Each structure stands twice: as C-alpha cells, then as structure tokens.
C-alpha cells in the first residue's frame, strides 16, 4: 500500500500582530501543510528525527581527499527548547513568531558555529540532513568570501526579470544553471539562462565557485555514499548517451547549480519539488551577517530552527523537507548557492532515455512495468540514505 507523508501543522488561532509584509510573514509564519503524495514513506510516527553530533570535525571533506573522521566529541549539544535562544534575532516581529513556534508548536533551536558537522537522523538512524562545518583553512574562508563578492559584483550589473527576482522561493534574484529536463521537455539539455549567459559562465568558471562546488560534492559523497553512486551512475549513463551535455563542474556529481544573488537572500517556506524526492541538495550560505541574528534555516517537519553561518553548508532532501530562512539583520548581506539534480533526469534515464509520455506511446507494456516499479522507488531511495551508528557512516 502506498503511504503518504502528510504532515500538517495547524496555524495558531490568533494571528500575530506584525508589520512584516505578507511575503516575510510567509517565511516565518507558523502554519504550513506539506504533502508528498504517492510516496511510500514511513508513517509520521516512525519518521521522527533526532539530532546527533558534534561527531566529525569538518576538515577533510574537500575535493577528492577522503574525508577523515577525527576528534570525535562524544556529547552532542542538543537543540535548545529555551525560547531565550532567540534573544539575538534582530527583527522583533520575527522573534515573536519564532518564540511562539518554540513555546506552542514544539520547535527547537540549534546553535551552530560551523566548527563541526552534525547529522540529523530519522528514527531508523538514517542520515536525513547534515550540517556540514566549514573547512578550517584560510583559503577556504577566502573562497567563500570571493564567491559572495563575485556574486555581488555580477548581480549589481545584471538586469533580472520579475520572474527571476520574485518567485516561489522568495524575493531575491536567482538563476539556475546546468542540465535539466523541464516539464513538457523531451530531452535533457542545459537550461536557458536568458541574457545571463556570459555572467553565469564567468561564475561557474570561477575557481572559488568551483572549490565550493567540489566541497559540496565531496561532502555528499562522504555522508551519502550509496545515494552519491546513484547520482553518479545516472550522470554517467546520461552523458554516455549524449556526450555534448556539458556539466557545470567536472568535479561534481550534481547536474545543476542555483545562484541566489545577494544582498537579501532568505527563502519562503518551500520544497523544491522538481528535485529527486529522496535526493539531496547542497546549500552554502554566504555573506556578511550575524548568524545568531538572522539567516537561520528552518526545517518545518523537523521543527528545527538552525543557525546557518556564512561559509557553512547543509545537505538536505529539499524536495521532501519544507524549508525557509529567517531574514538577516538590517544592513547585513546574505546570498546562497545550491547544487541539486532534477528527478526528471533520473526518470528519463530509467525509462531508457525517453519521457514517460513517449514511453507510454511507444511501449505501453514497458511503461506499465516502470510505473509499477515506481511504487517502491521512494522506499528504495530512502534505503540509499546512510545510517549513522556508533559514530560511523554505514
């Protein structure tokens, strides 16, 4: 039988007095409803999450270097239930909303300085989310600064259309670059970036962007080796079939990158439903901001409000877990870059390099076999998530 993830979070009875505009309110409002239809998902009872770590020092996740497990620290600092944790949140109205979420709705606050990495596990000890700490090297800090400044300079001289500047993820310019297969499309291609071609090429050719992209890739491989292989195998098949499909980065398994341009990147509550449902997205926070005052990542089903310092990265199943950010303090600046892969690419390869519609028209029997197999794909996908037992990734 197909189960559903159907997590509902009731809006509190009394709307809060706020002078936030509706978009901002949406970011932090305490109402949401997340539905993922047609997926065999553990029930709400079994899909509870726990917080583990600090367990690994974050000094070895980069490039092809094998990540090292060093200096494990036995006792995790659990997320706090004390609303006083919110004391630095700069916007009083946002603070009020978060305070209510903590007091009435069971949200917890995770302080994180980015010095160590922390997995968030589900009840089966699977790694659902990872807070990946910063690499403790000056050149890495410099790369995060360079990427931010490069995006700031590019963004300042670019013209962004309304749809690029205001979209379901928020009110900030965002451009996606890479390989995808959009709705109605028949074959994978590099997505059009409109008039931003030269700017996007400059960004993906930038050695600092490439360094962060490699770090995202290596962290994904380290924390989720089975899922990583699934991505890698798919990309090898896809590009074996069409070698002209150029990847953004030779040293990344992901098909696409989103550049969320500064200065005011904070996302509304959303899920990235086109990404692979059981897949992972890597997000780097960038900029000059106080992470205790704003920029927090809220994971709604997990009821976690997480400090997300500039230069740090989070791996999360962005199609499945509803997420948003807290706005940064007035006068401070934030941007982010993410890598992800569209679920449609996996379906295309799985179908024998064709779309569902074309397969149905050309080979109904095969289409039906594929449709039946899809019923357990979610479960199979979740089983590719690593388990984290006794400080080890298995």
Binding residues for ligand AKG (CB under 6 A): 169, 258, 260, 265, 267, 272, 283, 285, 297, 308, 323, 325, 336, 338
Residue number with CB closer to ligand AKG (53 or 291) = 291
Contact 313, 336 (CB under 8 A): no
Q: Which stretch of DSSP H or E encloses residue 146?
A: helix 138-157
Residue number with CB closer to ligand AKG (102 or 314) = 314
Residue number with CB closer to ligand AKG (108 or 131) = 131
CB pairs under 8 A, 24+ apart, for 95-104? 96/16, 96/18, 97/16, 97/18, 97/25, 97/28, 97/29, 97/30, 98/28, 98/305, 98/326, 100/12, 100/16, 100/30, 101/28, 101/30, 101/303, 101/305, 102/305, 104/12, 104/30
Residue number with CB closer to ligand AKG (164 or 272) = 272
Euclidean distance between CA atoms 150 and 178, whole angstroms: 19
Q: Are strands 304-306 and 108-110 parallel, antiparallel or unpaired?
A: parallel
Burial class (CB in 10 A: 0-12, 13-18, 19+), 387: middle
Residue number with CB closer to ligand AKG (337 or 349) = 337
Residue number with CB closer to ligand AKG (90 or 336) = 336
Using left for φ > 0, alpha for ψ between -120 and 50, and beta otherwise, residue 175 falls in beta
CA dihedral for 266, 268, 270, 274, sign (positive or negative): negative
CA terminus-to-terminus distance, the chain: 28
Is the peptide bond prior to 54 cis by the omega test (within 30 degrees of 0)? yes
Residue number with CB closer to ligand AKG (143 or 258) = 258
> What's the min distance (Å) between Cβ of 30 and ligand AKG?
19
113 DSSP 8-state letter: -
> What's the min distance (Å) between Cβ of 145 and ligand AKG?
17
Establish how many alpha carbons lie within 13 A of residue 293's alpha carbon, considering only the half-sphere containing its beta carbon.
12
Residue number with CB closer to ligand AKG (58 or 267) = 267
> What's the min distance (Å) between Cβ of 285 and ligand AKG?
6
When CB distances to ligand AKG are compared, the closest residue is: 336
> What's the min distance (Å) between Cβ of 326 and ligand AKG?
10
């Amino acid at each position: 039988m197909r189960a559903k993830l159907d997590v509902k979070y009731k809006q509190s009875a009394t709307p809060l007095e706020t002078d936030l505009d509706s978009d901002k309110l949406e970011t932090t409002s305490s109402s949401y409803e997340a539905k993922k239809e047609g997926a065999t998902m553990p029930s709400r009872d079994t899909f509870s999450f726990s917080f583990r770590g600090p367990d690994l020092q974050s000094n070895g996740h980069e490039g092809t270097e094998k990540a090292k497990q060093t200096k494990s620290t036995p006792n995790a600092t659990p997320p706090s239930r004390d609303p006083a944790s919110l004391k630095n949140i700069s916007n009083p109205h946002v603070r009020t909303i978060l305070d209510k979420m903590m007091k009435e709705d069971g949200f917890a606050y995770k302080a994180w300085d980015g010095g160590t990495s922390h997995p968030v596990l589900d009840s089966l000890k699977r790694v659902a989310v990872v807070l990946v700490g910063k690499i403790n090297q000056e050149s890495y800090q410099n790369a995060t600064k360079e990427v931010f400044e490069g995006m700031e300079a590019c963004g300042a001289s670019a013209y962004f259309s309304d749809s690029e500047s205001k979209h379901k993820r928020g009110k900030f310019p965002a451009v996606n670059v890479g390989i995808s297969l959009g709705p109605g499309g028949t074959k994978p291609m590099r997505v059009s970036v409109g008039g931003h071609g030269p700017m996007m090429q400059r960004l993906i050719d930038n050695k600092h962007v490439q360094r962060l992209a490699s770090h995202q890739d290596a962290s994904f491989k380290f924390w989720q080796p089975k899922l990583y292989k699934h991505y890698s195998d798919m990309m090898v098949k896809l590009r074996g079939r069409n070698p002209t499909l150029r990847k953004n980065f030779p040293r990344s398994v992901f098909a696409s990158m989103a550049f969320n341009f500064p200065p005011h990147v904070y996302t509304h509550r959303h899920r990235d439903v086109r990404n692979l449902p059981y897949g992972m997205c890597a997000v780097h926070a960038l900029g000059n901001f106080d992470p205790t005052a704003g920029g927090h990542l809220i994971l709604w089903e997990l009821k976690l409000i997480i400090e997300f310092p500039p230069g740090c990265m989070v791996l999360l199943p962005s199609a499945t877990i509803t997420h948003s950010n807290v706005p940064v303090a007035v006068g401070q600046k934030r941007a982010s870059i993410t890598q992800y892969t569209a679920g449609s690419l996996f379906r295309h390869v799985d179908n024998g390099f064709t779309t569902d519609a074309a397969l149905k028209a050309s080979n109904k029997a095969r289409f039906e076999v594929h449709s039946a197999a899809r019923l357990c794909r979610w479960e199979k996908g979740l089983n590719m998530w690593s388990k984290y037992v006794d400080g080890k990734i298995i």
